[in-house]
Amino acid sequence: MDREALADFLRSRRERLQPADVGLSAGVRRRAPGLRREEVAQLALMSTDYYTRLEQQRGPQPSTQILASLARALRLTADERDYLYRMAGHAVPDRLGPTGHVAPPLQRVFDRLSDTPALVISALGETLVQNALAVALLGDHVGASGWDRFEPWRWFVRPETERLHYPESDHPRHSRALVAGLRAAYGSMGASSQAGELVAELTRRSGEFRELWERQEVAQRFADHKVLIHPEVGAIEVDCQVLFTDDRSQALLVLTPEPRSEAEERIRLLGVLGVQQFSGSADRI
């Protein structure tokens, strides 16, 4: 671990960012360029003291989970993220494998989406980030662990909860789309990758998945019109627009209702319900 190089790099990346770049308010006049240390710590979900010690060359070797959070908070490119890992004394993550790192171009667009559900997923359907409306509509999948972070797993192994978000008439079509997308990822990543592990587990656990996998259908996600169901708000018609990274390893999904429609009103109501539920949870802590 090169403490000096790590500290210098963190400081330089922090100073190049402005609050607006990460969805924060500029607030009062700033005496120094870039983000404050406490703002980086907030974005990376760590204590200000811990982050400060890293910049002051006093901290312990950060874990790969901490590095992934810092890379996301500082909006690092893939090359910058690799450098961060090396300076911290860790192996560089496989760019086609699971890293939890959101591509900066997608992150910048995502940061500006607050009035409609939006999320970033990997090629395997792992939820990397969600905004508050996406959590209220679909559930908190970023906070899940293991395979439960992956939509194909939830769809085929936990259908009693995951499929409640879709009308029953749409289940067969969605099943085929998930399997076709997973096969595309499997073709890119290979049998020995996490894609291969997921396919093996689903083959073992789900007869429906085995049958669809044998069809050899291949297709990645695309723009779609769908109906999503919320237990309190009801059915919401949305258009799902998808923005891919250049290598198609990640996708930003934006769920937009037709303007001035009943669906738009229901999404507004969803935002109110989400705030109330969050406030209620905080009151109970």
pLDDT in tens, 87-129: 999 988 765 545 567 888 888 889 888 889 999 998 899 999 8
pTM of the complete model? 0.66
Mean predicted lDDT score pLDDT of the chain: 85
Task: Give the CA count within 13 Å in the CB-facing half-sphere of 35.
Answer: 29
Which tokens belong to 261? 């429609």
pLDDT at 156 over 90: yes
Domains by residue range for the chain, with CATH: 3-87 (1.10.260.40), 104-284 (3.30.450.180)
Would you state the pLDDT for residue 119?
A: 94
Would you state the pLDDT for residue 261?
A: 93
Which carries the bigger pLDDT value, residue 53 or residue 19?
A: 53
The pLDDT tens digits for 214-233 are 999 888 766 688 899 998 88
Average pLDDT over residues 55-81: 86
Where would I find the H helices in the chain?
3-16, 37-43, 48-55, 64-73, 78-87, 104-111, 132-138, 151-157, 159-162, 171-189, 194-205, 207-213, 262-284
pLDDT at 279 over 60: no
pLDDT at 143 over 50: yes
Distance CA 169, CA 28 (A): 53
